[in-house]
Amino acid sequence: MAIREEIPAESRNLTEMSWDPITRIVGNLGIYTKIDFDNREVVEPWVEAAEKAGEG
């Protein structure tokens, strides 16, 4: 079993990345995240989606 050690937030070097809008879908979709490349960890991933009114 792997044991994870928590890294203090103030010692992280986080990079914010976003992909918005993502095309070829109906509606709006965006992917957002904060990545700690030094420790190879995705820290805060989230997705926002909205369907276009009157379609679908």
Segments forming the whole domain that contains residue 41? 18-56
Residue 49 corresponds to which amino acid? Answer: A
E-strand stretches of the chain: 14-19, 28-36, 41-42, 46-50
Q: How many domains does the chain have?
A: 1
Is residue 51, in this structure, part of any structural domain at all? yes
**How many angstroms separate the CA atoms of 40 and 1, rounded?**
19
6 lies in a domain?
A: no
Is the pLDDT assigned to residue 1 strictly greater than 80?
no
Confirm whether 54 is domain-assigned: yes
Q: Return the residue matching tokens 């700690």.
A: 36
Angle (CA) 45-9-17 rounded to 5° is 35
Hunting for tokens 């276009």 — which residue is that? 52
Mean pLDDT to the nearest integer, 30-50: 92
- pLDDT over threshold 60, residue 55: no
Does residue 29 fall inside a structural domain?
yes
Average pLDDT of the chain? Answer: 82
